[in-house]
Structure 1
Amino acid sequence: MNPWALGGVALTAVMTFTLAVWGSRGAHTTSDFLLARRMVGVERNAAAIAGEYLSAASFLGVAGLMLKDGIEALWYPIGYTAGYLALILFVAAPLRRSGAYTLPDFAQVRLDSARLRAVSTVLVVLIGWLYLVPQLQAAGVTLSTITGIPYSTGILLVALVVLTGVLSGGMRAVTLVQAVQYGVKLFAISVPVFVLFFVFLGDDDRHRRSLDEPLPPVFERATTVRIETDVRLRVTEPVWVDVLAGPGPEELHDTVGRGEDSRESVYLTTGIHRVASGSELRFPEGSAVPVVADAEPSNRSWLLPQDGDSYELFETYSLMLSTFLGTMGLPHVLMRFYTNPTGQGARRTTLVVLGLLGVFYLFPTIFGVLSRFYVPQLLVTGNTDAAVLLLPTAVLQGWPGELIGAITAAGAFAAFLSTSSGLVMSVSSVLFTDLLPGKLGNFRWIALGSCILPVALALIAIGRDISQSVGLAFAMAASTFFPLLVLGIWWRRLTAAGAMGGLIVGGGLVLLAVLTGAFLGDGYGWWSAVLLQPAAFTVPAAFVVTVVVSKITSGRVPADTGRVMMRMHTPDRLGFLRDRSLEESAGQDGDSAERGRRGRHRLVRSRRAR
């Protein structure tokens, strides 16, 4: 256990709790809890969006994928950032001017359909949970790695801290916490990179092995590796390995019960070997590193993109669609734009976010490259998401490495705290306004309930890369809310039936791919590629269904479509901006609650318009 890292995590938790309490001052109304009174400035909102968006998939997952997959993993940070370019061009300002404050609310304002709002609510909750599970997984990995506590305990502790912030002051408290945590994450990822890279440049031995050689990585020193989950190892160069505990590779299935001090040397030949969980293997100094079956086995293939089967090109394009377009449909991201006073403010906020993300993503990729040299044992276990946490102590010995490790641990803790807070906030807001409107006490109970299922799923969903898990949430968002938003903002002939068809088809296809992929597993070539990255066919399918059904039901275009479209596309200075009344839709009294459920709403002038 690294006491420095434990101190960094504790400091981050205390800071989060303090900021949440401080930010909750004066948060008493529904508008305070759900939208921070729609008066968040551009810079603070941009920092909060960046802090919320830079999740565990960014802080830990990008480096882990770089370590395992090489240059192809760069599409993840590129896609995560480029999505905001599409957001600023097509969605940010019109969405804010619509006067809505959640995605289901936008669906109702634009298409006047209570059923469409209900389907949108279900999808918001589903996407939020798909995104929240990998954040909690990262919590378990991080805390178990740096403190030695059980994986499940780490998940429960993070859920407790997140709920403290959300329940104390809602959006007002969460905004302050997320804005500060962006700075924490940037510091925690950049300072270690500079230190570790300078150490690498001064290490002459590292330059003797080039990453463009057709050779596997090697163990610089004798290394003991403990396998926590069943893995399939790809061996490209035969290697002798000592089995210290557990059944070991598949050839040793009859040698269980080995004593702690006894060893059995095994010669692993070229090919695929299955190793059961609980095995403890010791590799000699200078031996080639076996890698999990889906990782790049040699340095040259690691450095070259698309150096494999043809279906990998499909995966790349599908990933691009998922990340580029999915950003526009993430409920917890879009909800932050509703807190800007104007549409122009929402667009400027998006521009600042682009800069903040571009700066951050320079650093995880360097972590991934250095990890290929210093922590190759993670390629054996498959736990590559721990690269950021383990690299500092592998490069620097003694207290300097532990200090740098404490900084990265604090940043990782801040990563899944800020994103988890935003996800719980978005899911709770939608459920509060649509299902149990009334007193703010209902909001607190809903926030508590919205954490239970993701926590349960995170406790059993072990062994999947964090970035790939988050990718499923992006694919779902791209296949559902992206068509609804783009067509709802830019195509006046969209109908509620068309939007409903697109949501059901897009979301249903992604769910079918996820469930089928979980049943089949890896190793099925094109089938696995399509199931792991389904956006290349689910997004076009959702668009086609939405357009075709809208044309078939062209007589059902809402009567007030022209007025809503004009409000979304008219510059703010002309004074057409109107905001939904939170008090009515959230149901401050029984009559208004009933009106909200029937889909009727009232428009009120924003503070800026007044």
Structure 2
Amino acid sequence: MTSAPVIVAITLTCLATVVGGIHGVRLSRTTSDFYVAGRSVTPWRNAFAIGGEYLSAASFLGIAGLIYGHGWSMLWFPVGYTLGYVVLAGLIAAPLRRSGAYTLPDFAQLRLQSPRLRLFTSILVVLIGWLYLVPQLQGADIAVSTLTGAPGWVGSGLVVTVVTVNVVSGGMRSVTDLQSVQYWVKLVAIAVPALVLISIWVGDGHTTPRLPTPPVVSAGMEMYATGSLLLALCLGTMGLPHVAVRFYTNRDGQAARRTTVPVIGLLGLFYLFPPVYAALGQVYLPELAADGQADEIVLLLPRAVAPGALGEALVVLLAIGAFAAFLSTASGLAVAVTGVVDQDLVRPRLRAWTGDDVDGIFSFRVSAVISLLIPLIITIALGRVGLATTVGLVFAVSASTLCPLLALGVWWRGLTARGAALGMAAGAAGSFACAAAVLTGHVPGGVLGLLVTRPAAWSVPLAFVTAVLASFATADRVPRGTQRIMTRLHTPDRSSSGVQPSRSV
């Protein structure tokens, strides 16, 4: 059903984002501004930006859809999303900032002194970023088709256009300001309708919502599925490109660690509300799960509970919040992926073609266009997939590849470049194969299917064990200067503030 107010709301949200991005042209003058906002973001401002960036399509639409379709056991998703920041704060937040790197490949080269490992890390960062961009674009497709009746590709095309303008205009500096605002937009947009719908439900005197009971499985399979999911979400957070780059924008390592504390509270506050939509959806729209429309429950519920002007007003507010979610997460991912594409793919080739130095801002903007067009093509070709399910797989891939590099690189001086590469390769082979099977609909049944849909419990240990064993086998190749780098990573910031990335940008 086409709704003029919804169309106006989406349009205004996109225009406001574009205006904010263009405003960033005045603020962003250097490469450091585009990559890491000049390393001048305060902990609270960064926390708001992380909240705006991290609460994606899976959080705004997918969590409610999962709980609505599969029951309360799906609450492990938001629990794991939030716990990921606890792990990140304890393990790598401060050392990562002290490294002085701009990107994860920068860190890999600084720590292990290997151009080949840097390139491999770059490829993984780009692939994970693109895989995570797909559910953001599909969420936009769902919102546009559900709320306006327009073809789904309009939503993903709109998000890509807006984010491209935003990123090429101001890079990380303008994106940070926008994401800080967008957190509050999303919180208000999901909280206010939820509270109104609860009050209507109480007044209607409906019975207590009953969510579906998950299929009966063995206790062992249930423990495996839950444990594997939590492992992926807890360890995968640190390897997500747009999450890691956020800690490069803090002034120092202490500020990076302080950023994570408010983030945990901000995420927990938001996740109070998606279960409300899932529970009320079983009262007012119980048929959606059978129709394969679980991800639409947040957008469709207000019109079912409160037909008329009130329901339409709530839908407009949810549409604003949903597009804020798509745009903020896609912007963060685009900046992170663009930085890697620029440093390791576009700029070296431009230098080879021209034989001269390349304007860093120009190559950054070219890279941004490339980084967003490819996931748009993938989204259109792939078709509909579950939002939260896809995001869960991205976390599993990240936990199986970039997490071993970061965790071992920060805490174990015995890690070698070959060990890191083989560990990431082993984890990537297993987790990417499982992600491809799920996304293309080729999941086997039984226990094997569980291992495919929840791969982290075996792919993460495989990656870590491979990296450790390969490093022991190549112990004579521990890079020179490793002790000096380790000291810098773990020394209080007064002594490490001058650490520079291993490769100039």
Question: TM-score over 0.5 for the alignment?
Answer: yes
* Cα offsets for 1:254-296 (capped at 9, x unmatched): xxxxxxxxxxxxxxxxxxxxxxxxxxxxxxxxxxxxxxxxxxx
Q: CA separation in 2, counterparts of 1:112 and 1:210?
A: 57
Q: CA separation in 2, counterparts of 1:21 and 1:520?
A: 41
Confirm or deny that 1:552 pairs with 2:473: yes
Structure 1 stretches lacking a partner, 5+ long: 212-298, 587-610
Change (3 A) 1:50 1:316: same
Contact 1:326 1:475 survives alignment (8 Å): yes
Offset, 1:443:
1.3
5 Å-filtered alignment, 1:146-165, equals 146-165=147-166
Change (3 A) 1:416 1:300: closer
Confirm or deny that 1:369 pairs with 2:290: no
Q: CA separation in 1, counterparts of 2:429 and 2:41?
A: 36
Q: CA separation in 2, counterparts of 1:125 and 1:308?
A: 37
Q: CA separation in 2, counterparts of 1:29 and 1:4?
A: 40
Q: CA separation in 2, counterparts of 1:452 and 1:352?
A: 34
Offset, 1:309:
4.3
- Per the alignment, residue 352 of structure 1 pairs with 262
Offset, 1:210:
5.6
Confirm or deny that 1:585 pairs with 2:504: yes
Contact 2:408 2:415 survives alignment (8 Å): yes
5 Å-filtered alignment, 1:500-539, equals 500-518=421-439, 521-522=442-443, 524-539=445-460
* Cα offsets for 1:197-223 (capped at 9, x unmatched): 11111111x22x662xxxxxxxxxxxx
Offset, 1:462:
2.5
Q: CA separation in 1, counterparts of 2:191 and 2:440?
A: 40
- Per the alignment, residue 308 of structure 1 pairs with 217
Greater Rg by CA: 1
Q: CA separation in 1, counterparts of 2:212 and 2:148?
A: 36
5 Å-filtered alignment, 1:13-24, equals 13-24=14-25
Local SS of the residue matching 1:432: helix
Q: CA separation in 1, counterparts of 2:440 and 2:41?
A: 45
- Per the alignment, residue 321 of structure 1 pairs with 231
Contact 1:189 1:408 survives alignment (8 Å): yes
Between 1:452-461 and 1:541-550, the stretch displaced more is 452-461
5 Å-filtered alignment, 1:22-101, equals 22-101=23-102
- Per the alignment, residue 355 of structure 2 pairs with none
The counterpart of 1:540, out of the listed 451, 458, 461, is 461
Confirm or deny that 1:196 pairs with 2:197: yes
Confirm or deny that 1:486 pairs with 2:407: yes
Q: CA separation in 2, counterparts of 1:496 and 1:542?
A: 14
Offset, 1:460:
2.5
Local SS of the residue matching 2:161: helix
- Per the alignment, residue 225 of structure 1 pairs with none
- Per the alignment, residue 131 of structure 1 pairs with 132
Q: CA separation in 1, counterparts of 2:209 and 2:42?
A: 48
The counterpart of 1:330, out of the listed 218, 223, 240, is 240
Contact 2:209 2:279 survives alignment (8 Å): no
- Per the alignment, residue 426 of structure 1 pairs with 336
Offset, 1:166:
0.4
Contact 2:136 2:326 survives alignment (8 Å): yes
Letter in 2 for 1:343: G
* Cα offsets for 1:146-166 (capped at 9, x unmatched): 111101122111110111100
Offset, 1:463:
3.0
Offset, 1:416:
0.7
5 Å-filtered alignment, 1:353-502, equals 353-437=263-347, 438-439=358-359, 440-502=361-423
Local SS of the residue matching 2:289: helix
Q: CA separation in 2, counterparts of 1:165 and 1:424?
A: 10
Q: CA separation in 2, counterparts of 1:369 and 1:523?
A: 31
Local SS of the residue matching 2:318: helix
Local SS of the residue matching 2:290: helix
Confirm or deny that 1:576 pairs with 2:496: yes
Offset, 1:129:
0.5
Contact 1:433 1:585 survives alignment (8 Å): no
Q: Which has the higher helix share?
A: 2
Between 1:436-445 and 1:392-401, the stretch displaced more is 436-445
Percent identity of equivalent pairs: 48
Normalising by structure 1, we get a TM-score of 0.79
Letter in 2 for 1:422: G
* Cα offsets for 1:66-85 (capped at 9, x unmatched): 10011111010000000000
Local SS of the residue matching 1:436: helix
* Cα offsets for 1:106-137 (capped at 9, x unmatched): 01111111111000000000000010001000
Normalising by structure 2, we get a TM-score of 0.95
Q: CA separation in 2, counterparts of 1:210 and 1:183?
A: 29
Contact 1:90 1:486 survives alignment (8 Å): yes
Q: CA separation in 2, counterparts of 1:403 and 1:210?
A: 24
Q: CA separation in 1, counterparts of 2:370 and 2:281?
A: 39
* Cα offsets for 1:284-331 (capped at 9, x unmatched): xxxxxxxxxxxxxxx5625xxx74345343222111111011001111
Contact 1:107 1:120 survives alignment (8 Å): yes
Letter in 2 for 1:156: G
Offset, 1:415:
0.3
Confirm or deny that 1:119 pairs with 2:120: yes
Q: CA separation in 1, counterparts of 2:436 and 2:295?
A: 23
Structure 2 stretches lacking a partner, 5+ long: 348-357
Q: Which has the higher strand share?
A: 1
Change (3 A) 1:142 1:519: closer
Change (3 A) 1:519 1:51: closer
Contact 2:99 2:501 survives alignment (8 Å): no
